[in-house]
Homo-oligomer: A and B are copies of this chain.
Amino acid sequence: MKNFVFHNPTKILFGKDTIPSIGSETAAFGKKALMVYGQGSIKENGIYEQVTKSLQDAGVTIVEHGGVKSNPVLSHVHQGIQLAKEHKVDAIVAVGGGSVIDSAKAISAGALVEHDVWKFFIGKKSIKDALPLTCVLTLAASGSEMNSGMVITNEETEQKFGFANKHLFPKVSILDPRATFTVSPQYTAYGSVDAIAHVLEYYFTNQEPYTPVQDHFMEGLVISCMDSCNRVLKNLEDYDARADLMWGATLALNGMTGAGLGKVGFPMHLIEHSLSALYNVAHGAGLSVVIPGWMIYQAQRTPEKFAQFGERVFGKTSGPMEKKAAEGIQALLSWFVKVKTPTSLPALHIPLKDIPRIAENAVGLAKVWRMPEYTKEKIEDILKLCV
């Protein structure tokens, strides 16, 4: 096992009727908060009302900043920072999924500096402090509610960049599975694919040859994310299924899976970020296309771990290693088809002739993420398998 530091201070309040705690939890950090949210779905399902009432009851003055889009953009973050500074807020409250929480994180760090927040993303500045952040989660997917990472798209430069910093852990995140009852089947599946992708990035790019503690944990998460997604798709208001998916997605990227693995890459996210940046596809949809292609490419080179995956996650126990590896990938692909997520670039309406352009974009992020082995040629080869 590689050396590591694990320190995840986020407090999770999980379950029914937990949303009304957002007021008292936030009031512990101050009396004025910027409330960040998305396109307004929270006004339809009652969550907006619950959150604002709870904040007001706790004596917290709200400055609203709605309108976060999926693949959240820098310009909207800039506006939030402006508001936070102008109103001298004490805290940020995020009500939404990963896009909202990531925007809130960027605002929480940007509000305390004079320079452009984008400098953090391109590695020109590093975060030394951030406003306290509390969250009400409405989508099981990104894991942002219990980690220190964030991803933002700079529309001008067409860059979707992300990184992690210890000051970005939310102080408190409230996870009420019922807040996800109104998530559509399509976005439920996208979220599940996102969570599974987070596990697979660590699982397959692990520097250490043998990490049984983490491997078993990750295999269990993949199995339970698929299982809970299947159950949700049968009944969108199955509380336990929504709960299992929500907690599984949180655990999939809270640092526990990766502790001890050493340096890992995020190659599938690397490539997907370019699909989102250039074509604004949903993150989970993009991942669903990139994952099988990347797995096929990588399994041809290092089949061992893919065979273990096929064996332990999908029970593919017979035959040579390459067979088990291929069958495992095929089984995952079949599950994507079953839950109706796209599995080819054409399914995203991206023409294959664009592959060089996508690869060119992805190379930019590969530089920032220090993954020089992901050359334009290699990324093109992988994208050619995403069909």
A residues with a Cβ closer than 8 A to B are 1-18, 177, 208, 210-213, 215-217, 219-221, 223-224, 227-228, 240, 243-244, 247-248, 251, 256, 259-260
How many identical subunits does the complex contain? 2
CB distance from A64 to the nearest CB of B (A): 28
Name the CB-closest residue of B to A247. Answer: B213
Which of B4, B10, B211, B213 touches A251 (beta carbons < 8 Å)?
Answer: B213
A17 proximity list for chain B (CB < 8 A): 3
Name the CB-closest residue of B to A227. Answer: B212
A16 proximity list for chain B (CB < 8 A): 3
CB <8 Å contact, B8 and A8:
yes
The answer to whether A6 and B15 touch (CB under 8 A), given A1-B240, A1-B243, is no
Which of B4, B9, B224 touches A216 (beta carbons < 8 Å)?
Answer: B224
A12 proximity list for chain B (CB < 8 A): 4-7, 259
The 7 closest A-B pairs by CB, nearest first: A216-B220, A3-B15, A7-B11, A1-B243, A212-B224, A6-B12, A213-B224
CB distance from A89 to the nearest CB of B (A): 24
CB <8 Å contact, B212 and A244:
yes
A220 proximity list for chain B (CB < 8 A): 213, 215-217, 219-220
CB <8 Å contact, B213 and A1:
no
CB distance from A140 to the nearest CB of B (A): 11
CB distance from A241 to the nearest CB of B (A): 10
Chain A to chain B contacts (Cβ below 8 Å), 26 pairs:
A1-B14, A1-B177, A1-B244, A2-B15, A3-B15, A3-B16, A4-B12, A4-B15, A5-B12, A6-B11, A7-B11, A12-B259, A14-B259, A211-B244, A212-B228, A213-B220, A213-B228, A213-B251, A215-B220, A216-B217, A216-B220, A217-B217, A217-B251, A243-B260, A247-B260, A256-B256
Q: A216-B219, A216-B221, A216-B223 are in contact. List 13 more A-B contacts (CB 8 A).
A: A1-B14, A2-B15, A3-B18, A4-B15, A5-B14, A6-B14, A7-B9, A208-B240, A210-B240, A213-B251, A216-B216, A219-B220, A243-B260
CB distance from A382 to the nearest CB of B (A): 30
Which of B9, B14, B256 touches A260 (beta carbons < 8 Å)?
Answer: B14
A-side interface mostly: mixed
A211 proximity list for chain B (CB < 8 A): 244
A224 proximity list for chain B (CB < 8 A): 212-213, 216
Name the CB-closest residue of B to A11. Answer: B7
CB <8 Å contact, B212 and A223:
yes
CB distance from A243 to the nearest CB of B (A): 4
In angstroms, Cα B3 to Cα A17, docked, is 9
In angstroms, Cα B214 to Cα A243, docked, is 12
A15 proximity list for chain B (CB < 8 A): 1-4
In angstroms, Cα B217 to Cα A12, docked, is 19
In angstroms, Cα B216 to Cα A248, docked, is 11
Name the CB-closest residue of B to A242. Answer: B1
The answer to whether A5 and B1 touch (CB under 8 A), given A213-B248, A248-B213, is no
The answer to whether A5 and B9 touch (CB under 8 A), given A213-B248, A228-B212, A260-B247, is no
CB <8 Å contact, A11 and B5:
yes
In angstroms, Cα B7 to Cα A251, docked, is 13
Name the CB-closest residue of B to A240. Answer: B1
CB distance from A363 to the nearest CB of B (A): 33
A212 proximity list for chain B (CB < 8 A): 223-224, 227-228, 244
In angstroms, Cα B220 to Cα A34, docked, is 42
A208 proximity list for chain B (CB < 8 A): 240
